[in-house]
Amino acid sequence: MGIDDAQIWNATWRGAHRHKRPRWRFILRRIARHVPLADKEILELGAGEGNLGYHALCAGAKRVTLVDFSDEALARARDLLLDWPVEKASLIRANLLDFDLGTQFDLVMSSGVVEHFAGAELARAVERHTAHSRRHVAICVPSDTAFNRRRSRDPKTQALFGFWQTIADDALAALIREQGFAIRACERFRRSYGIPLFPIKGTRRLQACAHRLLFDFALAPILPRQWGGLLLVVGERTE
């Protein structure tokens, strides 16, 4: 990610509402199905407002370290973590592709991050996760669905988030496996993610709630796995 990307993300975070988003707790709980969090040292990459790290602390993590290259994001994360003792969390400003903390963590995780890279940079982004992990990595991205592919090409999406792409399940799993990790989970979930809302002013939150109730709960037993809008891949070090 370069200077232009940082400017895009600073503007995006500056215009975003300040509140704890339920989807991050949902994602963290999904990770916790496969990786124990209690008393673990956790690194969150591309942390944004720090929601995953915050919920990890709520789940009993020993300490979280948040890395992001956006000053605006880190300022928001600092506010989010005010309720926690200073020794429980640290914030680091760094570019994902070239940072090295010189230490490893029990779990390195990210959500909504590596899909902003392609080719060699995507492989490098995954490698930065695995290089800092002594045991587990957990990477969550938009899955390769028709809804998400359409969204990735939307000029409004690109204006908010810069470049991003969907990533196929086996492609992300292969990148993690190449770093000496066994794949412990490769699953799609959150069927409502990526399905567009109607452009009716003032109803977005209501529509989002209805989407989640319909697709993630009421219809979940009968909808195919391929409809899952988010992809989670969890790796465990074997070397």
Domains of the chain: 3-196+225-237 (3.40.50.150)
Per-residue DSSP letter, 193: T
Mean pLDDT of 207-236: 84
Residue 215 has pLDDT above 50, yes or no: yes
- C-alpha span between 76 and 102 (Å, rounded): 26
- 98-147: per-residue pLDDT in tens? 999 999 999 999 999 999 999 999 999 999 999 999 999 999 999 999 99
Give the residue with greater pLDDT, 51 vs 196: 51
pLDDT band of residue 158 (cuts 50, 70, 90) is confident
Which whole number is the average pLDDT over 11-16? 54
What does the pLDDT read at residue 125?
A: 96
Token pair 């709520």 in the structure block, residue: 58
**Residue-level pLDDT at 7:** 64
In this structure, are residues 106 and 132 in contact, taking their beta carbons and an 8 Å threshold? Answer: no
Q: What is the phi-psi region of residue 233: left when phi exceeds 0, alpha when psi lies from -120 to 50, beta otherwise? A: beta
114 vs 195, which has greater pLDDT?
114
Residue range 193-202: mean pLDDT, rounded: 76
pTM (predicted TM-score):
0.89
* pLDDT-based confidence at residue 18 (cuts at 50, 70, 90): low
Residue 173 has pLDDT above 70, yes or no: yes
Two tokens at 185? 């989970």
59 within 8 A of 88, measured Cβ to Cβ: no
Q: Where are the beta strands (DSSP E) in 62-148?
A: 63-68, 89-93, 105-111, 133-142
pLDDT at 19: 54
